[in-house]
Amino acid sequence: MATNRPELERRRLGDTGVSVSAMGLGCAPIAGLFTPVGPELAAATVEAAWAGGIRHFDTAPHYGAGLSEERLGSVLRGLPREAFTVSTKMGRVLVDHDGPWDLWAEPNGRASAFDFSGDGAREAHLGSLERLGLDRVDIGLVHDADDHLDEAAAGTYAALAELRSEGRLGAIGVGMNSTDAAAELLSRGDFDVALIAGRYTLLDQSALGGLYPLCRSRGVSVIAAGVFNSGILAAPDAGATFDYAAADGALVAKARAIAEVCARHGVPLRAAALQFPLAHPAVASILVGARTPAEVDDALAMFAHPIPEALWHDLKRTGLLPEEAPTP
């Protein structure tokens, strides 16, 4: 499989030897998030990301009850192992389950269940290696521990720290949504990375006040996921979603106002949404989910789209971005 574009810039996480490309591929959608994808389209999507220079791939057992890891691994196994970085998550284990399941549209007889014990983390780690078909994963993240901080600190974190000390993980961190909960868990251990979804975007800068300064002070690198806030910053139309629920009218109106400023400068809203988070010094990379090669190609194009400094100035002048938010 040939690389069609140069690799994206790589950035090191904390004080580790692990690096990620400035944009990574979020692999929840290829597991049939909301609508079926199938193995062929999933593989083509991962191949498009590789051809576009993406070298970080993020997955989890939770995504499609293992389908994401299986589909991602089917492509990565044919690529040079030292050339890419894989992150996956611990805090859930797979269990037998019949019938449809939650957000995932391709039932496979399994579901995930929370398990923040140390044994659960080690079980999840081994299961991920088996499904991916790789000898190691590079980054292990405590997954969605927002409401389970004590259990995660005593169990999952302790197990990940042990796996890191044994050289079986290169970096460890949290993969969460709540800034307050993430900050609390980060303060309880020695972490390298925080993957935070949707909390530092053109619509939501809640990470700016507490979480990001904490990460900077502790040497924790941030991977900013959910840069489109689940869709509204890609297409702020009626019926748009914000954090996987219907967006209220005020949010849609604000997203449209941002889009109008972008349009005056000849910049698609998607480009501004992708490039904004990377300007913060705490952020090492962004993560973009995609289910088709066309979505990957669009993300890469938007990531490279020129944006004049005047656009950011206008967003701040009109009160659509806070003055203290770093901009590219």
Listed by start position, the domains of the chain span 18-227+276-291
- Count Cα neighbours of 190 within 13 Å in the Cβ-side half-sphere: 8
User: Does the annotation count 212 as an active-site position?
Assistant: no
Percent of the chain with pLDDT over 70: 99
Candidate list 15, 89, 144, 147, residue with the active-site label: 89
Show the DSSP H helices in the chain as ranges: 39-51, 67-76, 118-132, 149-151, 158-165, 179-186, 211-218, 249-264, 269-275, 293-304, 309-317
Phi-psi region of 231 (alpha: psi -120 to 50; beta: other; left: phi over 0): left
Of the pLDDT bands very low, low, confident and very high (cuts 50, 70, 90), residue 73 is: very high
Is residue 195 pLDDT above 80, yes or no? Answer: yes
pLDDT of residue 72: 98
Q: Which two tokens stand for residue 152?
A: 């995660």
Per residue in 135-158, pLDDT (tens digit) is 999 999 999 999 999 999 999 999
Candidate list 63, 157, 200, 212, residue with the active-site label: 63
User: Does the annotation count 244 as an active-site position?
Assistant: no
Is residue 2 pLDDT above 50, yes or no? Answer: no
Is residue 16 pLDDT above 80, yes or no? Answer: yes
Give the type of residue at 4: N
Report residue 202: phi and psi, to 5°: -65, -20
Distance CA 305, CA 319 (A): 24
Residues 6+ apart with CB under 8 A from 1: 47, 50, 51, 78, 79
Report residue 288: phi and psi, to 5°: -125, 125
pLDDT of residue 243: 86
Give the type of residue at 88: T
Candidate list 15, 58, 147, 150, residue with the active-site label: 58
Report residue 140: phi and psi, to 5°: -110, 130
Distance CA 65, CA 161 (A): 25
Is residue 3 pLDDT above 90, yes or no? Answer: no
Q: Give which of 134, 185, 179, 131 is closest to 158, Cα–Cα.
A: 185
pLDDT of residue 254: 96
Distance CA 124, CA 104 (A): 19
User: Does the annotation count 89 as an active-site position?
Assistant: yes
- List b or e across 100-123, with b for residues whose CB sees 16 or more CB atoms inside 10 angstroms: ebeebebbbebbbebbbbbebbbb
Write down the CATH number for the domain with range 18-227+276-291. Answer: 3.20.20.100
What's the distance, Cα to Cα, between the start and end of the chain in Å? 33
